Structures are given as C-alpha cells and as structure tokens.
Amino acid sequence: MRRLVRRALGDLMPSGGPMPGALDADFDTFWEKFRREAPVPFKAGVYAGAFVYTVTPVITVGVPLPSFALPRRLRDKHADRVVQHDLYLVRQAVFLLKIAGGFAWGADPRVREKLDLPPYAGDPGGWRTK
C-alpha cells in the first residue's frame, strides 16, 4: 500500500518551481510514524484514497490503466480531474490522501523555510492513544 500512496502523492502534490513536492519532504520517516500512530479509520481512508486514485483513470481520462501506468501528461490530467469529480466519494477519498500528504509536506523544514515559517520543534512524544 505504501507504494500506491507514494505514487499517488507524487502525482497529486508534485514539486513545482522553488517549492518541494510531497515526496521531497521526508516522506519515509513520516510514513513510518503515520503507520504507527494514525487512527485506524484515518489510515483506512488514506489507503482507500490511494486505491481510488490508482483505479479511476478509466473514468477521468478514459484510459483503462492504473494511474502509475499512464504517461506523465495523462497522469497530470487524471490528478486534476479526480479531485474535481462529480462523485463525492471519489473526491473525498482522494482528499483524505492529500490531507496525509499535506501533513508530511507542511512539517518539512525546507517547505516551512520557503513559506517563511519557523521549523517545527521535535515531537515531545507526550500524548499517545496507545
């Protein structure tokens, strides 16, 4: 599932100009922490979002291939269309995926520097549900 999430986030939140993309942030460290600490319903939503993103090119660009098998131009078109799809469940599933990617992206010190924000302090590890 990690591969699907990684590929989908690479398409949905690419780097552009001076701004790093979701995968330019420390995605691997974030992903391990996310897998350990995120609530099960949120993890299920993120996995569902990655799956929906991967299998919906047939309804967004009319090509019956998984998103990772599309050429770059069609992947860009698919990424744009899937987040604007008429079906709420399709949009919402992909939105959950983008939320998780945004958490990783927004916490990255390089991104925060580009936005003229101070880096986050380290996680004190005080509150946990387990």
Tell me whether residue 96 is in a domain.
yes
Residue located via tokens 């591969």: 3
> Tokens in use for 33?
């922490």
Residues 6+ apart with CB under 8 A from 87: none
CA separation for the pair 27, 116 (Å, rounded): 21
Q: Which domain holds residue 21?
A: 2-114
> Tokens in use for 130?
């387990």
Tell me whether residue 130 is in a domain.
no
CA separation for the pair 73, 92 (Å, rounded): 23
Tell me whether residue 119 is in a domain.
no
Count of the separate structural domains present in the chain = 1
Tell me whether residue 40 is in a domain.
yes
Residue 74, helix vs strand vs coil:
helix
Tell me whether residue 108 is in a domain.
yes
Tell me whether residue 77 is in a domain.
yes
Tell me whether residue 12 is in a domain.
yes
Amino acid at 58: V
**pLDDT tens, position by position, for the chain (130 residues)?**
889 999 999 999 999 888 889 988 888 888 898 998 899 999 999 999 999 999 999 999 999 999 999 999 999 999 999 999 999 999 999 999 999 999 989 888 889 999 999 988 877 766 666 5
Tell me whether residue 89 is in a domain.
yes
